[in-house]
Amino acid sequence: MKWFRAIYLLLIILSNLSADSRPNVIVFLSDDQGWGDLSHSGNMDLKTPNIDSLARDGVSFDRFFVCPVCSPTRAEFLTGRYHPRSNVYSTSAGGERMDLDEMTIADIFKKSGYRTGAFG
């Protein structure tokens, strides 16, 4: 619930900015990536300069962990709610499908005048 409130507050702030001053918002949510898999988090064997630059100049969530599998993590990020509340409980057999009537962060951004997309 704290994430949903934080995202909601961010969107309220962004909605008060004029169209010309709104920042671009890009979210990278990767599967099966550990904290130590990036050079900006201390990995000396792996060089990730572009990701390091994005983390340095933007925001990097270092305490956003939900489940060891992808679908529940995505559902919580997109909705700000505990994943079973949006009917996501697994990665197969239908448990990876979020309820179609769920309000997502993309819906909120669209209402604020942003263009949204999902890739991957």
The answer to whether residue 116 sits within a structural domain is no
CB atoms inside a 10 Å sphere around CB 119? 3
The answer to whether residue 95 sits within a structural domain is yes
CA angle at 35 for the pair 34 and 36, rounded to the nearest 5°: 90
The answer to whether residue 117 sits within a structural domain is no
Tell me which residue range forms the domain holding 46: 2-17+35-111
Confidence tier at 102 by pLDDT (50, 70, 90): very high
What are the structure tokens assigned to 57, written together? 């100049």
Which pLDDT tens digit goes with each residue over 47-90? 999 999 988 888 887 777 778 788 898 899 899 998 889 889 88
The answer to whether residue 25 sits within a structural domain is no
The answer to whether residue 29 sits within a structural domain is no
pTM beyond 0.95, yes or no: no
Give me the chain's average pLDDT, please.
84
* Res 19 pLDDT > 60: no
The answer to whether residue 81 sits within a structural domain is yes
Distance CA 33, CA 38 (A): 9
Confidence tier at 116 by pLDDT (50, 70, 90): very high
The answer to whether residue 23 sits within a structural domain is no
Q: Position 85: which residue type?
A: R
The answer to whether residue 30 sits within a structural domain is no
